[in-house]
Amino acid sequence: MEAFSIFTSILYLGLIVSQANADPVEDKQALLDFVNSFPHSRSLNWNESSPVCNHWTGVKCSQDGSRIVALRLPGVGLTGQIPPNTISRLSALKILSLRSNVITGHFPSDFFNLKSLSFLYLQFNNFSGPLPDFSVWKNLTIVNLSNNGFNGTIPRSLSNLTQLQALNLANNCLSGEVPDLSLPSLQQLNLSNNFLSGSIPKSLERFPSSAFAGNNISSGERLAPRVSPDQAPSESNVRPKNGRRIGETALLGIIIAACVLGVVAFAFLIIACCVKKKKEDGFKGTLQKREMSPEKVVSRNQDANNRLFFFEGCSYAFDLEDLLRASAEVLGKGTFGMAYKAILEDATTVVVKRLKDVSVGKRDFEQQMEVVGSIKHENVVELKAYYYSKDEKLMVYDYYSQGSASSMLHGKRGEGRIPLDWDTRMRIAIGAARGIARIHAENSGKLVHGNVKSSNIFLNSRQYGCVSDLGLTTITSSLAPVIARAAGYRAPEVTDTRKATQSSDVYSFGVVLLELLTGKSPIHTTGGDELVHLVRWVHSVVREEWTAEVFDVELLRYPNIEEEMVEMLQIAMSCVVRMPDQRPKMLDVIKMIENVRPVVEPENHPSSDNKSESSTPPPPRVDE
């Protein structure tokens, strides 16, 4: 009680303090002027009446909230020239990323006001004209102006950037000789695919020849292809602070393919601006890149306009390129494809699902994504974005750090296991039930989840179940072989009809309940190689004698829950009856579970029960 009120008063104090200097008023006005006079195709949630620091997409403030220090708007479809006297008023700006837009015109001359600028990402735009005098930005660390139409020479003023670690000017129309740049901090350089001539200055000889490829640069033996894979500097070398390693997993491969779309698009730009001087050579660099995976060359052309599609109200600001640069880690192979955890540059963590066997065209796919993406419910994992091209279909979700119900139940059995207590199991059950019921209400009551299983259920910020991976059965080819793990959740009729329905969702949910009660996987082995189907096993145990043997031994330590467990078992059994029309509707299931017990809120959970103390869930994350 005492602790609670102290906590709330601290919280309250914090609110007052942060409100006192919440909004950097002038910076906010600069951004509003920027966005109001700059056409863009993706809507930004920049609401004048909401605080800029925590709510505006792509905007980050200094710690005290007094200034805006980062602006990241990659791939939002900004089209035209940057309106003068807007961004340049954000004089405390350190990070500016406007890449993958359609920005035209010269390098904005008023950017000279951005004296603190450290990271500048303007690649994949349509800038033209000369490069600026760089000597004003003393703190520049990473400069990426690649894939634009800049022309003229490489300015000597780059020598003044003592902090510079990475410079990418590839795929522009720069000409003249490469100046002798003494940049001891420089770790990554790319000047490829320009019209540079002369020779490589001594100071830059340490870089691999691919950094100069696609120019008319002569340098004796340097022209020989002496670049080997281990010589090429890895991008992780230039990570400013946290030298995070780029995940060289499959995700990179996938998304490189997707990103090359952009390269193709800008190949046209390169042709447009460079066509006079050397028609063939100008295209060679990009063509070579495409030749790496010849099977994709054809389709990329028609997909060139594709971008990651974000849903309304999504506060993420990243694009395919960010995903490309993200460190990625395989989370697992799901029914519909691989899932990856991707950590972006700004530490945003998302789950990327790569769908396989998508059997519908773009329109149908988009329509289904619209249906799925429109569901906003605390018990349904929100689809944030998707990507569709001929070769690649991606879905982007929030990442849940606690893992799935499946990993909580079955992970680390034995030594070092954190038991999953009954309260949490109840909250997983009721949350998942509410989520599925919400899904069943969508699309005039016709939407089917189609893949209910414990590895698709996570804990939301209030520690209730939250379902993911919905609505994909109708867009993936139903003939795809079922992997064994999913089979245990399949209603008997689905095996024949191969068509998931709402009542087959109820069946699958029943299996999840059995899993929560027994702690056993839906298909498991006992001793030998004999496969045991959980539903059949529970039936047989229950038929023989109604004992506590069905229940997870882990649950035996919690007192006074037998009655609840038995009632939950009855609900589960009613969900997994053989005849689809005898199963309850999801809304009925919710009522039944709520009758077992008004489910305990984690916040008010009295920890008088010592035995469950060790297993109470971690405090809910306020900001997820």
Ligand X SMILES: *[C@@H]1O[C@H](CO)[C@@H](O)[C@H](O)[C@H]1NC(C)=O
Residue at 424: amino acid letter:
T
Q: At what angle do helices 422-445 and 502-518 cross, to 10 degrees?
A: 180
Residue pair 110/86 in contact (Cβ under 8 Å)? The answer is: no
Among 62, 91, 210, 249, binds ligand X (CB under 6 A): 210
CA nearest to 548, candidates 571, 527, 565: 565
Number of Cβ atoms within 10 Å of the Cβ of 64: 11
234 contributes a contact to ligand X by CB under 6 A = no
75 contributes a contact to ligand X by CB under 6 A = no
Pairing of strands 68-72, 59-61: antiparallel
Q: Which residues contact 438 (CB under 8 A, 6 or more apart)?
A: 375, 377, 379, 380
Among 57, 128, 306, 473, binds ligand X (CB under 6 A): 128
Closest distance of CB 46 from ligand X, Å: 9
54 contributes a contact to ligand X by CB under 6 A = no
Among 78, 269, 381, 437, binds ligand X (CB under 6 A): 269
Smaller CB separation from ligand X, 83 or 152: 152
Residue pair 622/461 in contact (Cβ under 8 Å)? The answer is: yes
Closest distance of CB 53 from ligand X, Å: 15
192 contributes a contact to ligand X by CB under 6 A = yes
Smaller CB separation from ligand X, 228 or 444: 228
Single out the segment in contact with ligand X by CB under 6 A; choices: 188-196, 404-412, 440-448, 581-589. Answer: 188-196
Closest distance of CB 599 from ligand X, Å: 31
Closest distance of CB 555 from ligand X, Å: 45
**Alpha carbon separation from 590 to 426, 463, 501, 571 (Å, rounded):** 12, 17, 18, 10
144 contributes a contact to ligand X by CB under 6 A = yes
Distance from chain centroid for Cα 298: 28
**556-565, long-range: CB within 8 Å, 24+ apart, which pairs?**
557/419, 557/611, 558/421, 558/422, 558/609, 558/611, 558/612, 559/609, 559/611, 561/422, 564/422, 564/426, 564/596, 564/597, 565/422, 565/517
Give residue 220's region: left, alpha or beta (phi > 0; psi -120 to 50). left
Pairing of strands 457-459, 337-343: unpaired
Smaller CB separation from ligand X, 138 or 356: 138
Size of the site for ligand X (CB under 6 A): 47
Closest distance of CB 136 from ligand X, Å: 8
Closest distance of CB 110 from ligand X, Å: 16
**Alpha carbon separation from 496 to 478, 491, 537, 580 (Å, rounded):** 12, 10, 22, 13
Among 21, 41, 185, 218, binds ligand X (CB under 6 A): 218
Closest distance of CB 286 from ligand X, Å: 8
126 contributes a contact to ligand X by CB under 6 A = yes
201 contributes a contact to ligand X by CB under 6 A = no
Locus of tokens 């229950």:
542
Among 26, 156, 185, 205, binds ligand X (CB under 6 A): 156
Closest distance of CB 353 from ligand X, Å: 23
Number of Cβ atoms within 10 Å of the Cβ of 59: 24
Smaller CB separation from ligand X, 191 or 494: 191
Smaller CB separation from ligand X, 5 or 49: 49
Q: Which residues contact 267 (CB under 8 A, 6 or more apart)?
A: 283, 286, 287
232 contributes a contact to ligand X by CB under 6 A = yes
292 contributes a contact to ligand X by CB under 6 A = no
293 contributes a contact to ligand X by CB under 6 A = no
Q: Which residues contact 401 (CB under 8 A, 6 or more apart)?
A: 349, 621
Q: Which residues contact 154 (CB under 8 A, 6 or more apart)?
A: 131, 169, 174, 176, 178, 179, 181, 191, 196
Radius of gyration of the chain (CA): 28
| 277 labeled part of a ligand binding site | no
Among 19, 21, 43, 47, binds ligand X (CB under 6 A): 47
- Please report, to the nearest 10 degrees, the dihedral formed by the alpha carbons of residues 527, 531, 534, 537 taken in order: -70
301 contributes a contact to ligand X by CB under 6 A = no
For residue 395, give the DSSP letter.
Answer: E
Closest distance of CB 594 from ligand X, Å: 33
Please give the residues from 235 up to 254 whose contact with ligand X meets the rule CB under 6 A: 235, 238
Smaller CB separation from ligand X, 149 or 450: 149
349 contributes a contact to ligand X by CB under 6 A = no
616 contributes a contact to ligand X by CB under 6 A = no
Binding residues: 362
Residues at the site binding ligand X, with contacts judged by CB under 6 A: 47, 49-50, 102, 104, 115-116, 123, 126, 128-129, 135, 138-139, 142, 144, 146-147, 149, 151-152, 156-157, 159-160, 166, 168, 170-171, 188, 190, 192, 197, 208, 210-211, 216, 218, 232, 235, 238, 269, 272, 278, 285, 289, 321
Binding residues for ATP: 362
